Amino acid sequence: MCSWACSTAFVLRMHLPDPFNLLLLAYLFVLLPLGVYKSARRFEAMRANRSAAKAAGRSTAGTVPTPTSIYIGTLFNMGILGALAFMAAYEARLRLFRVDHFGTREFVACVVWLVASFSVGRLSRAWRSEAELRDMPMLDLVPRTRRDWLTFGAVAVVAGVCEEAAYRGMGFNALHWWISGFPLDGAARVATPVAALLVAGAFALAHQVQGSKSVAIIFVKALLMQVLVWYTGTLVGAMVGHVVLDGLTAYRSLGLAQRLEANASAS
């Protein structure tokens, strides 16, 4: 009886996010990772079927979805993510595009973050062998045709806005509020790093279709992005930087794919 009463008192003394933020957190930490996990398993099976068909000398047409079809599905997920984030922000009376001040210091911080994130991505290439590079799921997601690039551009802009609003914005705020309200000594002191780590983990898991090593790299990039938001005091710089980074990454990945294909043809 005492144990139940103590547990009830503990819960009642906690800060609990409002319903919209709870729904957003459920989507970020449960529904979206599970959905992406299932998609990653299906995508891996399709790639395996393509490899088997190629080895048997059969046609590989249609064995793996085109980048455009994958981008369209991503846009749907981003729409849900953005809607939840903006509803949570409206309920909390927060302006996601608020910019109190953005001067030289903030601009330099964005440039430093972009260079650091791009460099982390380059290190991830060195982390892989030639065989691992050829087997990267990311290479099947690279835009190649004009239609692919147009659709990818839409995805990059929507993802830059919606993911920053959901993860670095409302998701982080809701977790910070919840953790800081724990009736434990030091809860408020650890709320910021714990919330940042949890949000970065959820963000990385949302990209697990790109492979396990890419998930680790994306986790580091997400932490850097949270630091950028904290330093600049706005989500706008991270949103713009996110779009630019995705574009640079896609262009670099296309170059890598073309190089690997040329090496395979030469051998």
Burial class (CB in 10 A: 0-12, 13-18, 19+), 80: middle
Q: Which of 219, 225, 217, 223 is nearest to 244 (CA)?
A: 225
Q: Quick check: 210 pLDDT over 70? A: yes
Domain ranges of the chain: 15-50+67-266
pLDDT digit string, tens, across residues 137-159: 888 889 999 999 999 999 999 99
- Binned at pLDDT 50, 70 and 90, residue 224 comes out as very high
* pLDDT mean across residues, the chain: 88
Measured on CA atoms in the order 165, 209, 129, 198, is the torsion positive or negative?
A: positive
Q: Quick check: 8 pLDDT over 70? A: no
The pTM score is 0.89
Distance CA 111, CA 133 (A): 28
